[in-house]
Structures are given as C-alpha cells and as structure tokens.
Amino acid sequence: MTIDIVLFGLRVISGLLLTGFLTAILVILWRDYRNAAVAVHVNRRIYGQLVALTQIENIYAETGARHPLLPITTIGRAPTNDIVIQDTFASSEHAQIILRNGQWWLEDKGSRNGTLLNGDPITTPIIITDGDMISIGSTSFRLALS
C-alpha cells in the first residue's frame, strides 16, 4: 500500500521534471532566437536609395526608377558610373555619394554645371539626409533612407 503511494509520488515527480526540462529548453531556445533577431537588426546595413524624379510644370513626380546606394556611388554621364544619367548638362563624372561613419555625404567631382542640393549649388562635401533633393542638370533624385 505505502509502496504504491511512493511509486505514484515518484511518477508525479518524474513527470514534473520532464515538463521542467522541456520548459527550460523552450525558454532557452526562445531567448536564443530573440537575441539572434536583435543581433540581425543591429547589424543590418544602413540602406539608402535614390528615387529618380521628373519635373512636370513645377511639380516633381517619381519616374519609378530607384537606385540603391553603394558605399561609394558615382553619378555621371559616362557608362562607368554606378548611376548613369542621360543629360547633356551632366559631366561624364559628375558627383558621388559616399557612406562615411554611418552618414551619407554628397560630393561634387568638379563638374561643369554643378550639383544642387535642395536647389542650392554645393561647393564642399555635405551630409545629406532623408528627403533631400539632389539635382544634376535637369535630372533630380530624392534621397530615401530606411
């Protein structure tokens, strides 16, 4: 009689321990995957792209073309550039956008007709941010960061 009670108690404890083992494993796994997800989020590359715009009677509309930015993105008329623009006002090597210390810099490469940032010509490398408009000749881009 007593041995039955002891055995029953042992069964209950063994069941509880199994449940405990399972729970511990699930908790560890859950923590592990959460940490991995955080690490992925932190390590994600800063991502930016240039959205090509077209001007229709003082209103800018997106043409649909989007150019993802590389750590060094060159813009110009020559086919060797990362972003090639068909514009007679653009120089063959016109401007470049560089990622430096987590920020995007716009730099004119000594072009003949200059590079405009939000309508003003730039003379030195300058930090650009989300929503800035870059104009080269009659071609315009808007910077979109995510």
Partner 1 sequence: MTSSLTIIEQQTAINHNRIERGLLLLAGFFLSVNFLGLALLQDTNIGHWLHFVTWLGCAVSGHLILNRYLPRRDPLLFPVVMLLSGWGLILIDRLAPIFADRQTVWLIISLVALLITAIFPQVLRWLRIYRYILLISGLILLISTILLGRNPSGFGPELWLGIGNIFFQPSEALKIMLVAFLASYLSEQYLSLRADNKMSRFAGRFAWLSPRIVGPIVLMWSLCVVILLWQQDLGTALIFFAVFLILLYVATGKTFIILSGIGLTIMAAFVAYQRFSVVRLRIDIWLNPWLEADGRAYQIVQSLMAFGAGGIFGQGVGQGSPDYIPVVHSDFALSAVAEEWGLLGVITVIVCIALLVTRGLRIAAAHQERPFYGLLAAGLSSLIGIQSLLIMGGVLKLVPLTGVTLPYLSYGGSSLLMSFVLAGLLLRLSAEVRST
Binding region for partner 1 (CB under 8 A): 3, 6-8, 10-11, 13-15, 17-22, 24-25, 28-29, 39, 43
Q: Which residue has the tokens 């240039």?
A: 50
Which is nearer to partner 1, 22 or 72 (by Cβ)?
22
Minimum distance from residue 81 beta carbon to partner 1 (Å)? 25
Which is nearer to partner 1, 44 or 88 (by Cβ)?
44
Distances, alpha carbon 102 to alpha carbons 81, 94, 110, 127, in Å = 22, 23, 25, 11
Minimum distance from residue 2 beta carbon to partner 1 (Å)? 10
Minimum distance from residue 145 beta carbon to partner 1 (Å)? 24
Which is nearer to partner 1, 29 or 46 (by Cβ)?
29
Helices (H), 1-146: 2-43
Q: Between the CA atoms of 78, 59, 48 and 102, what dihedral angle is there, to the nearest 10 degrees?
A: 100
Which is nearer to partner 1, 3 or 61 (by Cβ)?
3
CA dist 43 and 131 (Å) reads: 24
Minimum distance from residue 37 beta carbon to partner 1 (Å)? 13
Angle at 90 between CA 87 and CA 96, to 5 degrees: 120
